[in-house]
Structures are given as C-alpha cells and as structure tokens.
Chains A and B, each alone.
Chain A
Amino acid sequence: MSRINDVGGMAGFPAIAEEPDEPPFHADWEAHVFALNGALIKRGVYNLDEFRDAIERMPPEEYLAASYYERWITAITTLLAEKGVASPDELDVPHD
C-alpha cells in the first residue's frame, strides 16, 4: 500500500501557489532544522534513506497538517528516539 507522501496523480489538491521573491527559509528555525539534519547524517546518527522513511511513515493526518520543515523536525526527533540518542521525554520541550 502506498504511503501518504505518494501523492503523484492524486486528486483533490488545490491550485499551485507561487510566492514571489521567496526566501530560502521562511524562519530561522527552518534553516536550523535543515542544518541539523545534515549534521546528524554526516555524523552517521542515521542516513538519508532512514530520514526520508521517517517522514514518509508519519500518520497521514499529521503529514498533511505539517509544513515542510515541521515534517523534518518530526522525522529527526523520531529517529533520535529510535536510535536511542534521547528518550521521547527528553526530546520534548519541558513544560514549566
């Protein structure tokens, strides 16, 4: 069965929205997520295929609701937990 990311040919998506003078990143955190992923792959914490897989196995409703780099940070934290680098609790932002 295909996963939610496999949207080729799927009906129901809206018109394509172009953004004039689009910056490479829309917020600092997006640039940080991009760089963080590169650093972790370079260190061999996980590889590029594992990273893509972690995005693509997000629950469909979460995948569709998330922005592009939100999917990245979700995949990064999923893999950090699965690889035993940190527990899910440690990866959560502490609440006061």
Chain B
Amino acid sequence: MSGDHPSSVISARVRHVEALLESRGLLDEGEIDGRIDEFLAGGSPANGARITARAWVDPGFAERLLADANEAIREVGLSMAGGLQEQRLKVVANTADEHNVVVCTLCSCYPIALLGPSPGWYKSEAYRSRVVRDPRGVLREFGLELPETTRISVWDASAESRYMVVPRRPEGTEGLSEEQLAALVTRKGLIGTAAV
C-alpha cells in the first residue's frame, strides 16, 4: 500500500475528528470500539468455505446456490445482511473448462459481511487494473497456472452486487467429511486467485 503520511499524523487526525463528532453528539462514547469488535467477530473466509463444502457434497444445494445465492446461503445459517445494507451475492462455480476470478475495478467491493475484510492486494490498483486485461498472467503471478484451454471469466463487483467463487473440488477427497472439505478452502480460492 502507498501512503506518505506518517501513522502518528494521520492517527492524530482521526482522533481529532472522532472527538469533534462526539462533542456534536454524532458519536456515542464506546460506539467505535463496539463497531470494531462486531466487525472483527463477523464475516470470515470460513463462511465461504462452509458454503463451498456444502455445494461439493450436495448438488441440489449447489444448483440453488448458483441460481440465488442470497436465498441458498440461509440454508447454512448465513446471510448477506450483516453489513450496512444487504447486497446481492452471485456465486460462480469453477469447472474443468472455466475458471472464475473476482475483482472490483472501481474500488474494493467485496462480500465483507460474509467473508470478512478483503486482502490488501484485492484493493490495490495493481490487481484492479491488471486482472481484467491479463487475467491469465495475473493468476500466474499468484502461482496458478491454468491450461490454455481453460476459459477465464472475470467478474467486476459493484456497490450492489458482490461475487464469490466456488472452487473445483480437489481430486482424491471422496472420503472427506464436509468439515474436512471446508478446511481445504482458502480466501484466495473464494476470490479465484488460487485453485482451492
């Protein structure tokens, strides 16, 4: 990340604005700390991993998930409503012929309420500018070499619409439980910059 200002300067600026807003009655004491705790206890890639594992073991769920993710994730006790407003979630699944990858070229739109904070690289100009022009090259930088025959679809998120990728189920995992399968899934897999 760029940024030339020393942390102490900007930290003082943030404290000043907070104190000003408290004095004007626009912030309650302890409100900020409460919101931070709530956020950190909220969304997590583990939610996406659970959804993925269920989709791998239950084809009916997978079908409902791809058709209407907002509805389907309620079946596993999750929702997109945890943030400032409920956003539409579209889930796309990788296949032998097609790989999906998610970006927000304009800013940093990401299913935060479901998956927690996005990684720094997702928010970087480098990723946002390049993945739409050269997805194969960018995926290679992440160590993901796809066959030339695999089609790559890039999904550009917006203020109202967020995306999540369901990676392909790795071979040799037939004997694993749903919980064990979920443990294989990474945040990068859910964005599409890793195979799983």
Contact = CB atoms under 8 A, between A and B. Distances in A.
Interface residues of A, number: 57
Contacts of B84: 38, 41-42, 48
Given A14-B126, A67-B2, A76-B17, A39 B117 contact: no
A32 interface: yes
Contacts of A14: 126
B50 interface: no
B176 interface: no
B135 to A, nearest CB: 11
A39 B106 contact: no
A71 to B, nearest CB: 9
A24 B117 CA distance: 6
Interface string B30-64: 01110110011000000000000000000000000
Contacts of A76: 17
Interface in B112-133: 116-117, 119-121, 123-130, 132-133
A14 B27 CA distance: 40
Given A31-B36, A34-B39, A64-B2, A91 B20 contact: yes
A16 interface: yes
Contacts of A28: 11
A6 B107 CA distance: 8
A29 B121 CA distance: 20
Contact of A67 (B1, B11, B14): B1
Q: Chain B: interface residue count, which band?
A: 35 or more
Contacts of B4: 65
Contact of A16 (B10, B12, B26, B124): B124
Contacts of B124: 13, 16-17
B133 A85 contact: no
B130 A68 contact: no
B123 A40 contact: no
Contact of A19 (B3, B18, B120): B120
Interface of B: 1-5, 7, 10-18, 20-21, 24, 26-27, 31-33, 35-36, 39-40, 84-85, 103, 105-108, 116-117, 119-121, 123-130, 132-133, 138, 141-142, 156, 159
25 contacts: A7-B105, A7-B128, A8-B128, A8-B133, A10-B125, A13-B124, A13-B125, A15-B141, A16-B121, A17-B121, A17-B126, A19-B121, A27-B11, A28-B11, A29-B11, A35-B33, A35-B35, A36-B14, A36-B27, A39-B32, A48-B159, A70-B3, A86-B24, A92-B16, A93-B12
